[in-house]
Homo-oligomer: A and B are copies of this chain.
Amino acid sequence: MVYIGIDLGGTNIAAGVVDENAKLLSQASTPTLAERPYEEIIRDMAACALEAVKKANLTLDDVKAVGVGIPGLADSKEGRVIFCNNLAWHDIPMQEEMQKYIQKPVYIDNDATVAGYAESLAGVSKGCKSSVFITLGTGVGAGIVLDGKPWSGAHGVGSEIGHTTLVANGIPCTCGNNGCLERYCSATAIIQAARQAVMTYPDSAMMKMAGGDPQKINAKIVIDAAKEGDPAAKQVFGHYVEYLAMAINNVTAFLDPEMIVLGGGVSRAGQFLLDAVEGVRPRYLQYKTLPSPRIALAKLGNEAGIIGAALLGRQ
């Protein structure tokens, strides 16, 4: 038997067929066109999934279940999307709509959760019974895997590490709180700090890379400039890494998983990021001489969303 995984994003829908061994057999994608009624979007998700099944030379008879990763909160028991900010969805009957096209069990979970689950099944944390995947993108999300299973909390509102307080009374966050972790550890945080820094250091390499327009500075530019030794970029990146090390320490001190996996846009800095984090991390560790979670870079990339969603149905 195989599993359909659907990664629902604000821009694209990606679907794929995954076998029992977490191997991705086929893929298809289509634009989300997020402003449409949810019925149309879910219809296209189903069509995209059926295309992937066909590409794998299989039929629905071979499919055991459909899993969906969403950029929001799910009530997996009821098969409903509680909400997705990007799509302006509130209380959407995902399972009911999906089963109009594909009469299989439907599982739903948060996109960072399923990506973390995928890494634990087929990626860098494969074989770990417990792991925390942290996605460092526009925001910061997490995928918690405990005892080999994805954990979204007792009420489905967990794994939102981006909205834990890291700096009490700190920078205002989009969620209404202050000092949320994602205000310091996201790609957005790097970019904002860099735009600030070039006001003081207009000769920074970051400005040249951005064609003289601070608004064109992105996380890649900051990291590339830091790698080249640009002082302003190094400072921005260094501050970022300090906060990220605190975030990693918070996961270590509280949950202590076998592995902490870094994913999302900033993780594309690769070994440069990992070396920087490992460099400052010992300072934050409470038990410096004891074993603690290994830190690693995610390796499944965009496929993680499909693989993890698909295998929600294997549990």
Contact = CB atoms under 8 A, between A and B. Distances in A.
Which of A154, A250, A284 counts the most chain B CB atoms within 10 A?
Answer: A154
A164 B73 contact: no
B243 A168 contact: yes
Interface of chain A: mostly helix, strand, loop or mixed: loop
Contacts of A111: none
A246 B118 CA distance: 31
Contacts of A161: 253-254
A134 B271 CA distance: 37
Query: Which of the listed residues A144, A155, A291 has the most CB atoms from chain B within 10 Å of its own CB?
Result: A155
Contacts of A9: none
Contacts of A290: 73, 82, 155-157
A151 B291 CA distance: 16
Nearest to A245: B165
19 contacts: A73-B290, A129-B154, A142-B254, A144-B255, A153-B256, A154-B258, A157-B252, A157-B256, A157-B286, A157-B287, A160-B254, A161-B254, A165-B166, A165-B284, A167-B167, A168-B170, A176-B283, A177-B283, A255-B255
A175 interface: yes
Interface in A221-267: 243, 246, 249-250, 252-258
Contacts of A159: 254, 256
A154 B257 contact: yes
A283 B176 CA distance: 8
Interface residues of A, number: 52
A130 interface: yes
Interface string A138-152: 000010101100011
Nearest to A146: B146
A288 to B, nearest CB: 9
Interface string A162-205: 01111111100001110100001000000000000000000000
Contacts of A167: 167-169
Nearest to A175: B286
Contacts of A249: 164-165, 177
A292 interface: yes
Contact of A253 (B157, B179, B246): B157
B291 A155 contact: yes
Given A146-B146, A167-B167, A290-B82, A156 B250 contact: no
Given A177-B284, A287-B73, A290-B82, A256 B163 contact: no
Interface in A275-306: 283-284, 286-287, 290-293
Contacts of A82: 290
A158 interface: yes
Nearest to A250: B164
